[in-house]
Structure 1
């Protein structure tokens, strides 16, 4: 709840070290890859953008409205749309729903 409030009303950094220093992009990606590697996954394939892609896709699959996906991802443009993946089953279900009209 506090996190969502922070994201929706604040443009300050999300990741801040205990010392008050902001976690840099390079440090964040390094730590992300360390965690991914610990699961035996090829970590160089992942970056901070991987999280944006995953968050946008998950939000869309959960049925969140577009305006909320934009707010949560702090997008001012329509760039988030390229991150949203739609499964073939979702497309099939859409056709089924449309055929009932």
Structure 2
């Protein structure tokens, strides 16, 4: 429960800070996985665990820019095309953005070699 409270506090703090930052363009991967202008996007190394409805559950490495440890959590998708080819067991490199009062949102991904 403490880890969830800490994660929620961190997410809310980051959302507040992000509301004060300018808009950046997200880094594009494959054309059908690309996202145009968005808020700050963070890099992520992860393994796809499963799908929970329209959210993908990822076991990700630490996100040092946010002070997040490695953990497993759901991510929403910025668009439906991002679901194409994203399968459990895949190791990916991705970019995500924080969404106030919601799961972080995956904006781009590519399979890791």
- Same fold by TM (over 0.5)? no
Structure 1 or 2: more strand by fraction: 2
Greater helix share, structure number: 1
Length-normalised TM-score, structure 2 = 0.27
